[in-house]
Amino acid sequence: MNPEEPKEPPNEPIEPANTPTVDTSAPVSDQQTSSEQVGAESANGQNSGTHLSPIQLQLVKDVINLGYSNELALYALERVNFESVNDAVNWILDNPGYQLASLALTSSSDEEDNPSEMFNLYKMVFVVNSELRMGVGKIAAQVGHGALGLYQLLQRQPEHYESLGYWCLQGQPKIVLKGRNADHLLSLKLLAEEKNLSCYTVHDAGRTQVASGSFTVLSIFGARSLVDLVTGELQLL
């Protein structure tokens, strides 16, 4: 008889030491961020890596309460390092281009509330006092005063931001018309104000060509349909 050979123990799997285990029963979190979360982060400055303090948030709210959009209020305060509400408003007034660009980007959301507004056409007209017989250069200077003065006036009135923004998007239509005299310009101004149109009057300093205080130009801004009711019968200069 052959002697029995020693039996080898069966091979058993050897578990490596410190093998990490994964719990597959735990739910996998969704890594996509919802639009609500993005909006909340943007409002709190988290989208740019900046967390607003309670004081800064209050400043943003104060600027918004003056009639400015959320985006414009936050951006203006960032430009002035959150110094004060006055500094932010001054920055907005000194940078009208950004204000109107912001309005153009956000106006689509407002069109659902006021769809007729997007179809309105706006224009600015300048009625020149022909009785003064000003030279071409003088008229150009006076009309320039009228355009700048009326534009700055509209910028200081939040209720006109939307119409001013549409006017800019429409190419800023401007027309120069003939008026008979100062009384005629004054009557046109009263009629325009009755229709809630914005007006600006130019009175010359009297250094050249005309007497001091002369009523040289009347500027009017508003919806074209309303402006035409006031100046539609006047001739082009």
Please tell me the distance from the alpha carbon of residue 124 to that of residue 174, in angstroms, as a whole number: 5
Residue 145's pLDDT is 96
Query: Quick one: how far is CA 171 from the chain centroid?
Result: 16
Please tell me the distance from the alpha carbon of residue 123 to that of residue 220, in angstroms, as a whole number: 8
Give φ, ψ of 203 to 5 degrees: -120, 120
H-only helix segments in 95-155: 96-111, 136-155
Query: What pTM was computed for the model?
Result: 0.54
Please choose, from the candidates 220, 216, 218, the residue with its C-alpha nearest in 3D space to the C-alpha of residue 195: 220
Q: Give me the average pLDDT of each 10-residue run along the chain (237 residues).
A: 53 48 41 36 42 84 81 85 89 70 48 51 95 94 96 90 83 93 96 96 90 94 95 93
Q: Tokens standing for 114? A: 């006021």
Instruction: Choose the CATH number for 122-232 among 3.40.50.720, 3.30.465.10, 3.40.1490.10, 3.40.50.920.
Output: 3.40.1490.10
Residue 184's pLDDT is 96
Q: Which residues contact residue 85 at a Cβ distance below 8 angstroms, ignoring those fewer than 6 apart?
A: 59, 62, 63, 66
Q: Residue ranges of the domains in the chain?
A: 54-103, 122-232
Beta strand pairing status for 174-179 and 122-129? Answer: parallel
Please tell me the distance from the alpha carbon of residue 53 to that of residue 71, in angstroms, as a whole number: 17
Residue 53's pLDDT is 83
